[in-house]
Amino acid sequence: MKTGKVDVLLGLQWGDEGKGKMTDYLAQKSDVVVRYQGGNNAGHTITFGGQRYALQSIPSGIFSPKIKNVMANGMVINPKAVLDELQKLREMGITDYQLFISDRASVVMPYHIELDGAYESLKKGSVIGTTNKGIGPAYADKYNRTGIRIGDLLHKEYLRERLDDAISLVNIQMRVLRRKRYNLHTLCEEYAEYGRLLSPYICDTSRLLYDEVKKDSRILFEGAQGVMLCIEHGTYPFVTSSSPATISVPLGTGIPPKYIDHSLGICKAYNTRVGSGVFPTEITNSTAYYIRDRGNEYGTVTGRPRRIGFLDTVALRHACRISGIDSLAVMLFDVLSGISELRICTHYELNNKTIDYVPSTIYEYEKCKPIYMNMPVWSEDISACRSFDELPENAKYYLKKIEELTDTPISYVSVGPDREQTIEVKKLNL
């Protein structure tokens, strides 16, 4: 059997790397775009034609009628949020699209959102900085085998049985937490209606994707958040509740790993982080304000100002290794034009020793001090550059240094928010 071209696109930092733009850019060459983990805690922004579009749950290929957009089984899906997002697309004139939602994906229920906030409020010192979208509790119920799945919404009586078991446990927690209790009949009616409204989109997406592979279709898997937020390999416990790493694609979609051809890692030309957690290269001076202002560094979902730092290639090497990254896309490169101070972190200092790895515990990671390499700056506006050769020499040097320090080639450089403001550094078969 001849297989299709199957590629994975994922973030390598603490999320917000610009994945939406690159997914949109590469989706123009794809037949299928797939979300394989996370939920509506993953904001991604796409800009084209001078218009800005913010998405959360729905894959980034939704703006092209020819692309099949798949929300796969590894996601946790808030049906109301999906319907609201589709309504916003209609209001923007986006009505011609193909959307497929896995019947095996887990459902985010209102009590998950309630518990999300409650759990955070009870923590004394290790507040995660969750988006309060109910993602963590939904994944917890999935693995506790008490969760509701999208396919359950299509069968009202079965949904009632599943909810009866779930709510009995939930209301015990709510009583202890002194939060509102949930009514079985009300929830059943509400979510059965969501099932009815979403029924045209619900199917076995693993079969759909396998059929697309057999047809030699071009498939693009779109990761949410970033590898440094991975539940397995990120800065635990300040992480998300799923893994965006390439290895999660087979489990989150039902497509065997042998069909994956290329992993494209997305990173900013600097570092940002939203919420709590270790951040070795964080800066709070005028350079940070300069980057935040030029890069519009505010959370797509939360609106919170993002923490700013110089590029950390220790963490970047870690993320590349974990996900078997074949090439990089460097985003928001234009933000660095005109900056007065520019550094790259090459190693950490831990207990008076130089290390080149990410410690497994926050206890050690918080003690790490960045070891920097000072980089030459450039003042030229690069937003109109469309080739590597057009970039200023110091900008070229910065990119070459990233390749050298990560041992990974750069294939794309973004010099602005529009899909046309993208430089293909190396021609890859993507």
3-state secondary structure at position 196: helix
pLDDT tens string 207-226: 999 999 999 999 999 998 89
The pLDDT of residue 430: 47
Give the integer Cα–Cα distance in Å for 150 and 104: 6
Give the whole-number percent of the chain exceeding pLDDT 70: 93
CB 47 within 8 A of CB 26: no
| Interval 226-283: pLDDT, tens | 999 999 999 999 999 999 999 999 999 999 999 999 999 999 999 999 888 999 999 9
Residue whose tokens read 């951040």 = 279
Q: Determine contact, residues 308/292, Cβ cutoff 8 Å.
A: yes
Q: In the predicted model, what is the mean pLDDT of residues 17-43?
A: 88
* b/e 265-284 (16+ beta carbons within 10 angstroms → b): bbbbbbbbbbbbbbbbbbbe
Pairing verdict, β 202-203 and 98-102: parallel
More confident residue, 429 or 148: 148
379's tokens: 């003042």
Q: Which of 44, 262, 318, 347 is catalytic?
A: 44
Give the integer Cα–Cα distance in Å for 147 and 169: 11
Tens of pLDDT, residues 298-342:
876 667 899 999 999 999 999 999 999 999 999 999 999 999 999
Digit-coded pLDDT (tens) for 81-136: 999 999 999 998 889 999 999 999 999 999 999 998 888 777 665 656 567 899 99
DSSP 390: G
pLDDT at position 154 is: 98
| Secondary element (H or E) of residue 184 | helix 184-198
Instruction: Tell me whether residue 233 is one of the annotated catalytic residues.
Output: no
Name the DSSP letter for residue 77. E
> CA dihedral in degrees (376, 380, 382, 386; nearest 10)?
-100
Contacting residues for 212 by C-beta, under 8 A, at least 6 apart: 4, 31, 32, 68, 219
Burial 143-156 (b: 16+ CB within 10 A, else e): eeeebbbbbbbbeb
CATH superfamily of 267-424: Adenylosuccinate Synthetase, subunit A, domain 3 (3.90.170.10)
Q: Give whole-number Cα distances, 302 to 18, 40, 41, 95, 381, in Å.
A: 16, 11, 9, 26, 30
- In the predicted model, is pLDDT for residue 4 greater than 50? no
**Is residue 62 a contact partner of residue 159, using CB atoms and an 8 Å limit?**
no
pLDDT tens figures, 178-218? 898 999 999 999 999 999 999 999 999 999 999 999 999 99
Q: What is the pLDDT of residue 20?
A: 82
The helix/strand/coil state of 347 is strand
pLDDT of 429 strictly over 60: no
Output 63 or 429, whichever has higher pLDDT.
63
pTM for the model stands at 0.89
Q: Where are the domains of the chain?
A: 6-103+202-262, 106-198, 267-424
> Architecture of domain 6-103+202-262 in CATH?
3-Layer(aba) Sandwich (3.40)
Check residue 381 and report its DSSP letter. Answer: -
Does 2 have pLDDT greater than 50?
no
As a whole number, mean pLDDT of residues 412-426 equals: 91
CA dihedral 404, 406, 408, 411 (to 10 degrees): -80
Amino acid making up residue 411: S
In the annotation, is 418 catalytic?
A: no
Looking at residue 124, what is its pLDDT? Answer: 60
pLDDT at 121: 74
Average pLDDT of the residues in 40-53? 69
Regarding the domain with residue range 106-198, which homologous superfamily does it belong to in the CATH classification? Adenylosuccinate Synthetase, subunit A, domain 2 (1.10.300.10)
